[in-house]
Amino acid sequence: MAGERSFGEFCNWLVLYQRKPYRRMEVGGGVPPEAMSRPSPEPSRNVEVLHSIVEEYIETGEPVGSRTISRRRSGSLSAASIRNIMSDLCDDGYLAQPHTSAGRVPTEKAFRSYIASLRTRRLPQLDAERLRAEFSSADTVEERVERSSHLLTELTRNIGIAAAIPTSSQSLDQIELISLGDRRVLAVVVTCDRMVRNRVVVLDEQLKQDDLVSIRNYINREFSGWPLDRIREELGRRLETESAAYDEILSRLNLLYGKGLLDIGPAPELHMDGASYLVGLDLHLTREKMRELFHALEEKKRMLSLLDQFLEQGAGEVAVKIGLGEAHPSMRELSLIGLSVAMPAGLAAKIAVLGPMRMNYVRVMSVVFYVGQAIRQTPD
């Protein structure tokens, strides 16, 4: 739909979309599929009370009492009736009571039920215009991914994460070879998705810049538009032929190929902003555990693994994971909301918001969804 439009057309569509009715958000990961495909087995009144408790807890962070919910529901149910419902919800594992005299707090099971009931909310027009302004001036995919993490943080006040993940099917746009002296050559590889990667190759003998220009022209003429893995295969085949020994360009190219020219592996780019927002949250962590949490957030490999593990839905489907204790003990009270984005020319991107379990899910899910739609559009 929007993926077939130009970036300008998409932005116009985004503004017009704000006037349409709500629609159901596609939610996966952490939310049982059956909870999305059929009504909850509990009576609807119990579900309504449960979701009111979750919303109250998200707003205040305090255990919720029956009188609070009775007032929230404008007295449609007495406090005594709500106490009975809350008791049933406790027995079913949806609520916990931290202290005998305190109110109840929702469990992970309660949050999953609540999230499965949510629908997308249209973004305010100012936010939609902000997306248009930010992405229209980003010339490369790398810029768009990096700006995504900033936008996710600024629009949700949580940790924004964005990763550009190259694949083996990336295609060559052009290559530039520059002599650095002392037998070193800088290879600058630009792929069709506008990603730029550099590699310094150290040769056994010096090549003149004129020789490098001839090699560069040969590669760009013969292989522009080819996937990188196919280029490596074809170059290897050509260099093995007998005629290569008598071809001046190929014989010099062989010096570079033998040193790993174009062996530029898919190195993901990870951007993360807003970790400081965790400081003011009551995550029930000791000072040592909080240090462990920040240390875990600084580990690029761990964060990429987190995205891979919990964002397994198809491209464009918002995934929600409640509680990340299995990723790291210090993340037990955090949730992840994100999606995978299919980018052009063999690049995948993953964007996500990491925040407290009691975050504003409606707002965050909508922001993630629209940023995901915007990031994959090609600028005019």
In order along its 380 residues, the chain shows pLDDT tens digits of: 444 445 455 445 444 444 443 333 433 334 433 333 334 444 588 999 999 999 999 998 889 999 999 888 876 788 889 999 999 999 999 999 877 667 899 999 999 999 988 877 788 888 888 888 888 887 777 788 888 999 999 999 999 999 887 665 678 889 999 999 888 899 888 888 777 878 888 888 888 899 899 999 999 999 998 888 788 888 888 888 867 666 778 878 887 887 777 776 556 778 899 888 887 776 777 788 788 888 888 888 888 888 888 877 666 788 999 988 888 888 888 999 999 887 765 567 889 999 988 899 999 999 999 998 888 765 54
Asked: is 31-116 a CATH 1.10.10.10 domain? The reply is yes
CATH number attached to the domain at 172-257: 3.30.390
As its CATH architecture, domain 2-25+119-167+268-375 has: 2-Layer Sandwich (3.30)
Number of Cα atoms under 13 Å in the Cβ half of residue 299:
13
Strand partners, 350: 163, 340
Q: Where in the chain is the domain with CATH 3.30.390?
A: 172-257
What pLDDT is recorded for position 222? 92
What pLDDT is recorded for position 314? 66
What pLDDT is recorded for position 275? 85
List, in order, residues 6 or more apart from 160 with CB less than 8 Å away.
148, 149, 150, 151, 152, 153, 154, 272, 273, 274, 351, 352, 353
List, in order, residues 6 or more apart from 115 with CB less than 8 Å away.
27, 30, 31, 320, 322, 361
In eight-state DSSP terms, residue 320 is: E
What pLDDT is recorded for position 15? 45
What pLDDT is recorded for position 121? 77
Q: Where in the chain is the domain with CATH 3.30.450.40?
A: 2-25+119-167+268-375
Number of Cα atoms under 13 Å in the Cβ half of residue 350:
27
Residue 239 backbone class (left: φ over 0; alpha: ψ -120 to 50; beta: rest): alpha
Q: Which pairing describes strands 318-322 and 27-28: parallel, antiparallel, or unpaired?
A: parallel
End-to-end, the C-alpha distance of the chain in Å comes to: 17
List, in order, residues 6 or more apart from 119 with CB less than 8 Å away.
22, 23, 24, 25, 362
Contact 43, 127 (CB under 8 A): no
In Å, how far are 117, 311, 365 from 317, measured between CA atoms? 16, 9, 10
Q: Where in the chain is the domain with CATH 1.10.10.10?
A: 31-116
H-state helical runs in the chain: 7-17, 33-37, 44-60, 66-72, 79-91, 108-116, 125-136, 141-156, 209-223, 228-240, 248-257, 287-298, 300-310, 361-375
